Every structure is written in C-alpha cells, then in structure tokens.
C-alpha cells in the first residue's frame, strides 16, 4: 500500500524559501506510471495545484507560481521535493503531496499525504 508523508516546515519568514519533501513508501517513484504532485490549500479556501513531476522527467508547474517553484526527485531516498522561493503571507497554506494515476481519458489523485501546515510570518 502506497503512503505519502510530507515533511514539516512550520514557520517560514517572508522572502525566504519554503522547502518540503514527500517521502513515498510502498512504491518506487521512478518505476513509472504515476505523476507526483504538490497541492496546497490556504486557510478557508479551495485546493490549488502547484506542480508535478513524472519519474525524473521535466516538471510542470502552475503558471501562476512558475517563476518561484521547483519540484525535483531524489531517487536514493524515494522522495520528491518542493521549493517555493520569495514567499509571502499569501503562501500560508496546508501543503499536500499526492500521487496522480492516469489512463486514457482521465487523471486522478488516488493517494494523498496527510498535509503539512506552513505559515509565512516574520
């Protein structure tokens, strides 16, 4: 059974870089067949896609965040990471990692981490 676990980031100061990792257990990230996503949810608001990476290929990012975000894979640790630079209070959110399955005609996020709360404040 695949499980995802986000690292703790807690409090990040404005203008600094937010860094999170998602540890994957039960399946190798690089065995293919799934996209590995980051999704966030500001307090009281809806889900916002941040980006994904497939195996160790080129990541894709939300255009609204593209200039500040980076997603990468660490094969040796079977985890993938998120870096978001120049954070502001608007980046305060619960951050989730999620596995995305796909077949012809659909994509779905079938496994989610529990989420980690990140607050941007001085």
CB of 106 to other proteins, least distance (A): 4
* Burial of 103: CB neighbours in 10 Å, binned 0-12, 13-18, 19+: exposed
Q: What is the DSSP letter of 13?
A: -
Residue 33 Cα distances to 64, 85, 92, 98, 107, angstroms? 27, 29, 31, 14, 11
| Total residues interacting with other proteins, rule: CB under 8 A | 24
Nearer to other proteins, 87 or 97 (CB): 97
Tell whether residue 103 is a contact of other proteins (CB under 8 A): yes
Piece of the chain touching other proteins by CB under 8 A; list 21-29, 68-76, 82-90, 110-118: 110-118
* Positions 57 through 86 that interact with other proteins (CB under 8 A): 60, 62-63
Interacting residue with other proteins among 15, 86, 107, 119 (CB under 8 A): 107
- How far is residue 6's CA from residue 21's CA, in Å, rounded to a whole number? 6
90 three-state secondary structure? helix
Tell whether residue 37 is a contact of other proteins (CB under 8 A): yes
Nearer to other proteins, 19 or 117 (CB): 117
Checking DSSP bridges between strand 79-84 and strand 18-25, what pairing results, if any? antiparallel
Q: By CB under 8 A, name the binding residues for other proteins.
A: 37, 39, 46-49, 52, 60, 62-63, 96, 100-101, 103, 105-110, 112-115
């Amino acid at each position: 059974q695949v499980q995802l676990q986000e690292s703790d980031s807690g409090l990040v100061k404005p203008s600094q870089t937010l860094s999170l990792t998602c540890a994957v257990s039960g399946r190798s990230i690089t065995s293919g067949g799934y996209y590995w996503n980051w999704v966030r949810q500001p307090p009281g608001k809806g889900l916002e896609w941040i980006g994904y990476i497939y195996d160790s290929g080129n990541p894709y990012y939300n255009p609204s965040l593209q200039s500040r975000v980076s997603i990468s894979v660490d094969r040796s640790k079977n985890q993938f990471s998120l870096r978001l630079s120049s954070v502001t209070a608007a980046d305060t959110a619960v951050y989730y990692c999620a596995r995305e399955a796909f077949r012809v005609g659909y994509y779905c996020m079938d496994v989610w981490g529990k989420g980690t709360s990140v607050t941007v404040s001085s």
